[in-house]
Structure 1
Amino acid sequence: MQIPYELALGWRYTRAGRATRRNGFISFISGVSMLGIALGVAALIIVLSVMNGFQKEVRDRMLSVVAHIEIFTPQGDALPDPSRTLQEARRHPEVLGAAPFIAVQALLARGDTMKGAIVRGIDPQREPEVADLDSALKQEVLQRLVPGQFGIVLGADLARSLGVRTGDPVTLIAPSGQVTPAGVVPRLKQMTVVGTFDSGHYEYDSTLAMLHIEDAQRIFRLEGPTGIRLRIRDLHQAREVAQQLAGSLSGDLLISDWTRQNKSWFAAVQLEKRMMFIILTLIVAVAAFNLVSTLVMTVTDKRADIAILRTLGASPASIMGIFVVQGAMVGVIGTLAGLVLGLAIACNIDVIVPAIEQAFHASFLPKDIYLISRMPSDPQQGDILPITLISLLLAFVATLYPSWRASRVNPAEALRYE
């Protein structure tokens, strides 16, 4: 099969350029354009992959201690009929598990140290149905929560800030005081730390404390659970399932899904991801439009060759095709090189970043600021495919004007001084 001469000449012009100093300079500029496209594409893939991984990592760690859906009363009081609400929620085909809970804000004290905490009363038997505890809280730790013994499980960072370990006592201070002749006296309860958990999510590890739901009812003087936590088949359908439950459950109840918790954070990540895509796409655009200057210089240098081809019968469209092929080759090679480089770094960033941190004795992700302490990465086809297509499109568009100028070269004018 014979290769069209437009393709052959375009490829020859792309890789040639070492015979003279001028041609060598043009080849250098072409290589710089190719390198710029490759680095821009690689940067886009790496940055978006890291942002995807960051969002996924935080979401997964959050869901290890947060349920997909929560049902509670508007005033935060005990549910009027928790058994009926549990049965009605379990009837939904998407619900895999349901567990009652009590959520109250309180203070934890150890000596002179006092910390605010979200105290959650749970049923140790049902809790694994609604939360992924494998990475955060082992089942044997939950079994230490025995009603009447007033044991408590603390987040690792909360326990560290209080200076307590397993077996140490802490004082739980309830928000509602006790009225006495001397005035309102805060209600205190001595608790024993029976374990800690580390979800990897600093916000919860530093504020969450768990105890048995029956102990929570006694301490906070509640008649029953204040809400029900649900786990569904597909976490991405949480909002739709919550809306369906809102229409099927009896009573005046509020329903919240996990997407509404930390809603502003997830929205900020999505906005930042879109802005980074736009900014880094401009870098690719600048590199792609460097092809304009490269091809303009190539056309000027090859005026004699163009004139000879025209006198031999080449049409303006064929001349234009030669330089479109040359520019497209630079765009394709640069895009593919950037694609390979970006995926190679994105897929191995969990090895590359720790090596850099160790070499420079630095920490790029302080745990108390960025919620997680390691650099995650999640390359997604939905990001990589648009990046590749946009890069190729920009490179192709950049070839049109220089190629059109080449097709307009007058053979007589070009050969006059040859």
Structure 2
Amino acid sequence: MLRSPEWFIAWRYLWASRKERFIAIIASFSFLGIVLGVATLILVMSVMNGFREELVSRVIGFNGHLLLSEGEKLNQVFDVQTKVEKISGIKYTAPLVQKQILITSEKEACGALVQGVTPEVLKKRPLISDNLIEGDVQTFSKEENQIMIGSGLARKLNVHVGDKLKLTTPQMNLTAFGSFPKTKFFKLAAIFKSGMYEYDQNFSFISLKASQKLFSLEDSVSALEIFVEDPDDMENIKAAIREKFPFFYIHDWQHVNEKFFSTLEVQKNIMFLILMLIVLVAAFNIISCLMMLVKDKTKDIAILQALGANRSFILRIFFYVGSFIGVFGALVGTGIGLLLSYRLDRIRLFLESISGYKLFREEIYFLAHLPSKVNLDQALLVCALAIILSVLATWYPARKASRLNPIEGLRYE
């Protein structure tokens, strides 16, 4: 094909002379439009994929896959735990106390969510135990009055490991002088940074026994956390749990975060449609470019027809011109999009170091870094759609050129 006379003529038309510079400019804009649209679309889709995957991994790494409760509290937790752990597909379970509290340091005070867990459970959560910026899990497990908090919470309270913190609960203590909120002092044993802004700003951990005493739960807990082998397929496990505990409440991580992840999916689809419009506009530019080229080359077309060129020969010339712009633009755009997606966070850090402005704020996006996950299937789909649109845009002007009357083209020559 590349050695055919049609391709030779098409190639000459692509590199326009000075008289046809305006057509060349339109063709360049069409090419750049395809490149920009495809590259941007692949980049945005990669960011959305990475954002979702990062959030899912952190949500699962921070909380149990399932929460089993009776309501306000779960009684006879040991019996429930024993029965649940016999169900196939369950990795392990952990009693959980979760309540809202007020944490007070020497200088500051703020609300937070406290979880009462065993040290063994914390060690099984690498998102926390492997991301300690101060202290360690061993210190947390030595004594009952130890507390672990997120880095954002530590920053708000202006505290470090070894400092004393006062925890105040909504429960009231009746004394001879009236009712007062129940309080207890804890020593800060460790500070974690999970990379999830919301968790680092609001979460704290104390031992299970300390939380039961603090909230007067005796041997009860808030719920039973359940960790499963396959987080994406829990329907069979939920059905088995319901069979054993028909009157209990079961919440899975997908249901708890359903609105959040549904919103992400909607945003991803909307961004795809919006950015695909850039490619569509570029395709229309190809139509405009080819229509102008056909009008400009009417004499050439007439001469070729007079020399014996048939309609399909003329059609292929202009089809190759438009297809080259679209196909080459889509391939270049795909390459740029993939390159930017793989190096996105490094590019962000470089731009931030030059500008001195923070482009990615943790408090807005919930993550400490800009995630990106390239899906090659999606990238190929975007590239294919861009090529298809470009080829379709090329067809009408090419067909129009092939149907020109040679007599009309040579009438005034």
Partner of 1:233: 229
Partner of 1:17: 16
The counterpart of 2:119, out of the listed 124, 139, 150, is 124
Question: What is the CA-CA distance between 1:187 and the residue it aligns to?
Answer: 1.3
Q: Deviations over 1:376-399 (max 9, x none)?
A: 211112421221122111111111
How far apart, CA to CA, are the structure 2 residues paired with 1:326 and 1:167?
72
Question: What is the CA-CA distance between 1:24 and the residue it aligns to?
Answer: 3.1
Question: What is the CA-CA distance between 1:327 and the residue it aligns to?
Answer: 0.6
Q: CA RMSD in A?
A: 2.4
Partner of 1:248: 243
Question: What is the CA-CA distance between 1:242 and the residue it aligns to?
Answer: 5.6
Supply the AA of the counterpart residue of 1:22.
K
> How many pairs were matched up?
412
Paired residue secondary structure (1:194) = strand
What aligned pairs does 1:186-335 form with structure 2 within 5 A after superposition? 186-222=181-217, 223-238=219-234, 240=235, 243-250=238-245, 252-335=247-330
Q: Do residues 54 (structure 1) and 76 (structure 2) align? A: no
Unaligned runs of 5+ in 2: none
Please say which of residues 181-190 and 84-93 is displaced more in the overlay.
84-93
The counterpart of 1:387, out of the listed 373, 382, 386, is 382
Please say which of residues 290-299 and 319-328 is displaced more in the overlay.
319-328
How far apart, CA to CA, are the structure 1 residues paired with 2:236 and 2:193?
29
Question: What is the CA-CA distance between 1:290 and the residue it aligns to?
Answer: 0.4
Q: Deviations over 1:20-57 (max 9, x none)?
A: x2233322321221111111111111122122222222
How far apart, CA to CA, are the structure 2 residues paired with 1:68 and 1:128?
17
Paired residue secondary structure (2:256) = coil
How far apart, CA to CA, are the structure 2 residues paired with 1:392 and 1:330?
9
Please say which of residues 378-387 and 165-174 is displaced more in the overlay.
378-387
**1:62/1:397 Cα in 2 relative to 1: closer, same or farther (>3 Å)?**
same
Please say which of residues 200-209 and 104-113 is displaced more in the overlay.
104-113
Supply the AA of the counterpart residue of 2:369.
R
Check whether the contact 2:89–2:237 (CA below 8 A) recurs between aligned residues.
no
Question: What is the CA-CA distance between 1:61 and the residue it aligns to?
Answer: 2.9
What aligned pairs does 1:342-353 form with structure 2 within 5 A after superposition? 342-353=337-348
How far apart, CA to CA, are the structure 2 residues paired with 1:292 and 1:167?
71
Supply the AA of the counterpart residue of 2:83.
E
Paired residue secondary structure (2:225) = strand
The counterpart of 1:65, out of the listed 58, 62, 83, is 62
How far apart, CA to CA, are the structure 2 residues paired with 1:405 and 1:309?
15
How far apart, CA to CA, are the structure 1 residues paired with 2:25 and 2:111?
63
Q: Deviations over 1:87-146 (max 9, x none)?
A: 333233332222221111111112363211111111112344466435434998333234
Check whether the contact 2:144–2:209 (CA below 8 A) recurs between aligned residues.
no
Question: What is the CA-CA distance between 1:217 and the residue it aligns to?
Answer: 1.2
